[in-house]
Structure formats: structure tokens, C-alpha cells
Amino acid sequence: MKNLVRPPRLAPGARVAVVAPSGPIVEERLQAGLDLLRGWDLDPVAAPHVLDRDPALGYLAGTDADRAADLQAAWCDPAVDAVICARGGYGAQRVVDLLDWDAMRAAGPKVFVGFSDSTTLHEAFAVRLGLVTLYGPVAAGVDFVKSARAQDHLRATLFAPETVRTLTSGGTALAPGRARGVTLGGCLTLLSSGYGTPHARPGARGGLLLIEDIAEPPYSVDRALTQLLRTGWLDGVAGIALGSWKDCGPYDSLRPVFADRLGALGVPVVEELGFGHCEGALTVPLGVSAELDAAAGTLTLDEPALL
């Protein structure tokens, strides 16, 4: 697994497009998120269909075609420096095949931010564009709107990434050791369901895998990990960092699952690194070389996430 291309960092006045490739948006939260971005001296612009809701499938933020068009138009607009997802939910899998990846590659590197359902897009940006992306808070997300820690860490990553090269949140070692590799990952069930599709990596060999999820009971987490094990997707993974597992049951019921499914891999595993669906979530770069230290509970990037 190789390092991916790092896009340029943001500067005051940079234009940021907010898109909704997945679930529908609460307008009040979107406005609050846009106001926060303006407070950072950015120029946020909401995509035309960001507040849509599909008339038949109400769990989608508008039709597949419109959601794809918003994302592609934002990415291909030379005036846009970054694209931030408005929320997660579900729907990115229905969009990824509709995008013109040749046109998006020709548009050049820029910042992409999202998490949860956006895992599908992070994988596609890695495979199709070879680009470092940021797994972090979404513009209309509760955590982004209300958590100063989440805001501050994303802001530092966007404007001064050299100041946040070491990520830690008091995590502990499920399996000891240190490992080096290139970061990848996101939402566990999205990685599992994306296996074998043309916009996802065939495996995590040589990588530092960062995984988290929401509202999946222990047996479902077991099922997703077991699928990745059975397919060989986890063969050769260098190390694993576990993020948040909100509404997945008491963590004591998940720890035996992780020990059982991941312990036999013989690689360092860090628990509770502090990214994903949790209050004050850290922004984690995907596609950069780093060192995972299980004993210290840290992930240290070899270089800043953005140029």
C-alpha cells in the first residue's frame, strides 16, 4: 500500500462546497455548520440539492442523479478548494457509480471531508483518484455544530495540519506493539459491504486500518469482521485502530468480539482512539504513512495530512 497524493491545505477565503451524497439534512443544522465555516474565514457554498429529499425513498437526500451531480459539479469547479459532506446516513453506494471519475481526476487534488456513509467515497477517492482524504466531522452533523473539540481538530487539520500529526484520545492496547503503514478505513459495515466492488480496495495489506461504526450490535460487528477475514481482506494488515462504537451495546460486550476476531492477526490493536461517531471526534487522514503505538494509544503521521 502506497502513500496517496496530499491535497493543498486551506487558506482564509477558500471556497468550500457542502454536498449531501447520502441522507437528508436538517436545515437548521446545515445553517449552523455553514455559519461555523464562515467564522473560520472560509466561503462555504451549499450545493443546489443539499436540502432535497427523494420523493419515494425518504432516507435519501434527493435522487441519485442529483446527489451525484452536486458532488461532481463541486469537485470539478476550479473555484472550489474543498468538498465537505453535510451528513452520513445512507446513499453514497448509490452515487459512486454515477460519477465521472476521469473528469474528477482531471480537476486535480482538493480536500474531501466526510465520515460514516462517506466511507464508500473515501475508498473511491483512494482507488480512482489516488488522493488523501479526511475522515472527519460533517458540516450538518451534531458533533460538528456542538463540539468545540471536533471543530478545533478539523480546523487545525485543514489550516495547520503539521500541528495535529499525533492523534490520541486516551486509547488502550487490545493487542500490544507498534506498526507502520498507510492509513485506510472508516465505517466497518461500509468497508464490508463494499468488498468486491470496483471502487473499493481489494485488501488492507500493508495498511493501518481505522474502523468504527454505529448502531450495530456485537453479532453484526462480528459478522462484518468475519466477512473481511474470510475474504482475505485483512491479510497482511499492519495494525488496527478502533474508534467509536456508538449504540453498539456496552463496550464490554464488544471487546471480546475484537479480541476473538482480531487477536489472531498478531498485529497491534488500539482501542478507543477517538474518531467516528463520538463526541469530540478527531479528524483522521486516510492515505498517509503513520506509526501506530498500541501501548501509548497514539497514531503519529509521518507528514502533515495536507500540503
Question: For the sheet containing 111-114, what is the strand order?
Answer: 43-46, 15-19, 82-85, 111-114, 133-135, 284-286
By C-alpha distance, which of 18, 9, 26, 5 is closest to 164?
Answer: 9
Q: What are phi and psi of 236, to 5 degrees?
A: 80, 5
Catalytic residue numbers, as ranges = 116, 212, 277
By C-alpha distance, which of 205, 200, 190 is closest to 239?
Answer: 205
| Coil/strand/helix, residue 272 | coil
Query: Under a CB-based contact definition with an 8 Å cutoff, are residues 217 and 247 in contact?
Result: no
Q: How far apart are CA 132 and CA 112, in angstroms?
A: 8
Q: How far apart are CA 121 and CA 67, in angstroms?
A: 13
Q: Which residues pair with 161 in a beta bridge?
A: none
Residue bearing cell 474531501: 112
H or E element that contains 255: helix 251-262
Beta strand 289-293 with 178-187 is antiparallel
| Coil/strand/helix, residue 294 | coil
The three cell numbers locating residue 8: 493543498
